[in-house]
Amino acid sequence: MIHNFSAGPAILPPSAIKGSIEAIQNFAGTGLSILEISHRSKQFEAVIEESIQLVKELYQIPDGYSIVFLQGGASLQFDMIPMNLLNENETAAYLNTGVWANRAIKEAKLFGNVNIIASSEDKNFNFIPKGYTIPSDAKYFHCTSNNTIYGTQMQSFPNSPIPLICDMSSDIFSRPIDINQFDMIYAGAQKNMGPAGVTLAIIKNDILGKVTRKIPTMLNYQVHIDNGSMYNTPSVFAIYVSMLTLKWVKEMGGTAAMEKRNTEKANLLYAEIDRNSLFKGTCEVEDRSKMNVCFVCNNAEHEEKFTQLAKEKQLSGIKGHRSVGGFRASLYNALPLESVQALVDAMQQFEKNI
Amino acid sequence: MIHNFSAGPAILPPSAIKGSIEAIQNFAGTGLSILEISHRSKQFEAVIEESIQLVKELYQIPDGYSIVFLQGGASLQFDMIPMNLLNENETAAYLNTGVWANRAIKEAKLFGNVNIIASSEDKNFNFIPKGYTIPSDAKYFHCTSNNTIYGTQMQSFPNSPIPLICDMSSDIFSRPIDINQFDMIYAGAQKNMGPAGVTLAIIKNDILGKVTRKIPTMLNYQVHIDNGSMYNTPSVFAIYVSMLTLKWVKEMGGTAAMEKRNTEKANLLYAEIDRNSLFKGTCEVEDRSKMNVCFVCNNAEHEEKFTQLAKEKQLSGIKGHRSVGGFRASLYNALPLESVQALVDAMQQFEKNI
């Protein structure tokens, strides 16, 4: 068994893999492949509808929010958000917690003013800034809930006096949230929700329609909302696999069950990192992510050897991002506890035999 | 056997369906699914590389062009093209041959001036305008090679004094082209190239870098070129299936063989439409598309009955677009001659038994 710790695209539940193959062979009893069927077919319209229902259920989303499936990843959202929400003479507030937050900031500056209200850049983003004040005269506040590269995660969200927008690409559906705190949540699917190629956006309707610029049609949230994610051909297969994954989350007990599962996995691994004399974590303990666990060897010379052992033990995708180094084990929803145990076993074996 | 005449997403070659299932089970010997593997893995980098090579080979693309895989369909290209190529005070020339050309025109107007140099709108787009002059002082000339909804197709391309940009979404790789005539070709994959979720763009490098506006990063062609289609996570699976489809085109003999195959299919169906007393084509004969064959019943009351017969004969997806009515049989590369024969047989049976 290969243990897939990839940071994304990442492990999916077995039922999503199995279901995706079945749908390629024969989608919804049509006798046609899901790769060959019209997105306007009633069978695929039912997939979009079910996907929306699952998102609503999993996050208990009330009326007043719209759910759309887009393309272009979170990176395109970095442009669409200020394009749809920020006039040129207005200011948006951003929290800088890493590379992706930085990219969001860079793009927002093309459309208006940006106020970076707090940053952890001075410590290579190894913590989540706290104690900041969100200015009530900014247009919105943007934050990144989980920072894949650095292994930090917001453990709670501020009560924002202005619309709160959150990039949840790497921890969506990994824990319960209070949707009422948020005005927009978005996520590239390819970590916790599905394969690469689709982006989920959950948008409170009343934040839209307030900018004066002319928004290109494909970049206008209202167009995608009004057309039920079907203004043009959506990413059919990626939406289908995402639906299968969301179904699995629901069947497993929803976001509360995911949080329990993810906490158990993360606790197991962090405990070993803290216990094992050869390793250490790279983040502030209170900001540690349950999704991406970053750690290094105390002796840098050990890292190549542990990489070799990990390979032998079929621990796949644990190389750390170049900006942090060392190791990163991504523990997304679908990763089983056995895989974390296999990694912990390898770390213990490594300590004994070094 | 179901005969898949869907206008898109559309039929794919059996080898692409089979290969996509195999890659979901075990991608390139990794033991992991292609849905769960990093886009930065060497195995997926090889897929991007092979896809680019296949595009180059099939269209004999010389140095000086870049090939990128994007997201958002042709619809996002309607924005990206003027955003990257047209300054606000400049004019682009567009040919109006239908709904999609119209959408391209509408978006271009957000970025600069548009000169519609010819249109077939007055005849519900049932022909391709000819005899127009492309103004040499416009920034570029944009046309749509095949009009899926109306069943018209450009049989040749003008010698343009300015950069020629062509939306080939519904006939890409269906026939040889002289790449030297074009400065940019683009296509949503989901008709002749792969599943929904990826867009191919072939761009002559020297048309870029000439606008003064600040282009959002994700909408900047040069960014995608410089990053080898990996600025952010690309649509991994859709690219893989497209590669399998392009491989099939090559193995079948390339675009010349596709043209032969498509001509044979189209001739068979148009001959029956012209012969059969119950049906008639909807387009000017000289502009008839080999990809999308549009026809109606001479007696409108027959249409429901023929729809019923088509259903019995498992002729799937032949309902015409609402703006033309009647029937539309899409004969994309992967559709076998037998399917066209089955449709012709049904038309003949219908004529006998009515």
ipTM computed for the complex: 0.98
β partners of residue B96: B119
Band (A290; pLDDT cuts 50, 70, 90): very high
pLDDT, tens only, B179-234: 999 999 999 999 999 999 999 999 999 999 999 999 999 999 999 999 999 999 99
Q: Which of B287, B280, B291, B285 shows the shortest CA–CA distance to B324?
A: B280
Per-chain mean pLDDT for chain B: 97
Q: Which of A80, A288, A49 shows the shortest CA–CA distance to A165?
A: A80
| Closest alpha carbon within chain B to A111 | B216
Residue range B62-77: average pLDDT? 98
**How many angstroms separate the most distant Cα atoms in chain B?**
65
Structure tokens at A349: 């074996």
| pTM exceeding 0.90 | yes
Residue range A137-158: average pLDDT? 98
Answer whether A72 sits within 8 Å of B74, measured CB to CB: no
Answer whether A17 sits within 8 Å of B8, measured CB to CB: no
Answer whether A195 sits within 8 Å of B237, measured CB to CB: yes
Band (A34; pLDDT cuts 50, 70, 90): very high
The number of beta carbons lying within 10 Å of the beta carbon of residue A322 is 7
Whether the pLDDT of residue B354 is over 90: the answer is no
Q: In whole angstroms, give the CA distance from residue B211 to residue B225.
A: 17
Pairing of strands A91-96, B199-204: unpaired
Answer whether A218 sits within 8 Å of B75, measured CB to CB: yes
Nearest to A188 among B16, B31, B233 (CB): B233
- Answer whether CATH 3.60.21.10 is correct for domain B14-251: no
Q: What are phi and psi of A154, to 5 degrees?
A: -70, 120
Per-chain mean pLDDT for chain A: 98
- How far apart, in Å, do the first and last CA atoms of chain B sit? 25
Band (B89; pLDDT cuts 50, 70, 90): very high
pLDDT at A62: 98
Q: In whole angstroms, give the CA distance from residue A70 to residue A221.
A: 9
Answer whether B235 sits within 8 Å of A196, measured CB to CB: yes
Known active-site residue A167: yes
Band (A299; pLDDT cuts 50, 70, 90): very high
Mutation site, A6, A71, A167, interface B, largest B CB count within 10 A:
A71
Specify burial of residue A323 (Cβ count, 10 A radius: 0-12, 13-18, 19+): exposed
β partners of residue B203: B66, B184
To which H or E segment does residue A4 belong?
A: strand A3-4
| CATH 3.40.640.10 domain span(s) along chain A | 14-251
Cα radius of gyration rounded to whole Å, chain B: 21
- Cα distances (Å, whole numbers) of residue A23 to A33, B28, B181, B287, B311: 6, 21, 41, 37, 22
Q: In whole angstroms, give the CA distance from residue B242 to residue A6.
A: 24
Structure tokens at A122: 């001075």
| Closest alpha carbon within chain A to B192 | A36
pLDDT at A354: 87
Catalytic residue ranges of B: 100, 167, 191
**Cα of A151 to nearest chain B Cα, Å:** 18
Answer whether B196 sits within 8 Å of A233, measured CB to CB: yes
- Cα distances (Å, whole numbers) of residue A226 to A49, A66, A220, A231, A232: 14, 10, 10, 8, 12
3-state percent helix, strand, coil for chain B, nearest multiple of 5: 40, 15, 45
A238, B197 contact by CB (below 8 A): yes
H helices then E strands: how many in chain A? 9, 14
| CATH 3.90.1150.10 domain span(s) along chain B | 254-353
pLDDT, tens only, A238-251: 999 999 999 999 99
pLDDT, tens only, B118-169: 999 999 999 999 999 999 999 999 999 999 999 999 999 999 999 999 999 9
Angle between helices B236-251 and B254-275 (to 10 degrees): 80
Known active-site residue A100: yes
Q: In whole angstroms, give the CA distance from residue B166 to residue B74.
A: 11
- Cα distances (Å, whole numbers) of residue B151 to B3, B189, B295, B328: 19, 18, 9, 8
Q: In whole angstroms, give the CA distance from residue B76 to residue B235.
A: 15
Chain B residues in contact with A20 (beta carbon < 8 A): 24, 35
A44, A243 contact by CB (below 8 A): no
Q: In whole angstroms, give the CA distance from residue A37 to residue A235.
A: 12
Whether the pLDDT of residue A313 is over 90: the answer is yes
Task: Name the CATH superfamily housing domain A253-353.
Answer: Aspartate Aminotransferase, domain 1 (3.90.1150.10)
Q: In whole angstroms, give the CA distance from residue B240 to residue B207.
A: 28
Whether the pLDDT of residue A325 is over 90: the answer is yes
| Closest alpha carbon within chain B to A6 | B38
pLDDT at A207: 98
% pLDDT > 90, chain B? 99
Q: In whole angstroms, give the CA distance from residue A329 to residue A266.
A: 10
| CATH 3.90.1150.10 domain span(s) along chain A | 253-353
Band (A21; pLDDT cuts 50, 70, 90): very high
Its CATH class, for the domain covering B254-353, is alpha beta
Q: What are phi and psi of A328, to 5 degrees?
A: -140, 120
Whether the pLDDT of residue B236 is over 90: the answer is yes
**Cα of B159 to nearest chain A Cα, Å:** 30
Known active-site residue A191: yes
Which of A139, A171, A191, A287 is flagged as catalytic? Answer: A191
Mutation site, B218, B243, B314, B315, interface A, largest A CB count within 10 A:
B218
Q: In whole angstroms, give the CA distance from residue A163 to residue A183.
A: 5
Task: Indicate the residue type of B131.
Answer: G
Q: In whole angstroms, give the CA distance from residue A74 to residue B173.
A: 31
- Cα distances (Å, whole numbers) of residue B252 to B163, B194, B195, B258: 32, 16, 19, 8
Nearest to A219 among B21, B79, B241 (CB): B79
Nearest to B195 among A7, A31, A236 (CB): A236
Q: Which of A315, A335, A180, A330 shows the shortest CA–CA distance to A252?
A: A335
Which of A139, A167, A171, A287 is flagged as catalytic? Answer: A167
Residue range B86-114: average pLDDT? 98
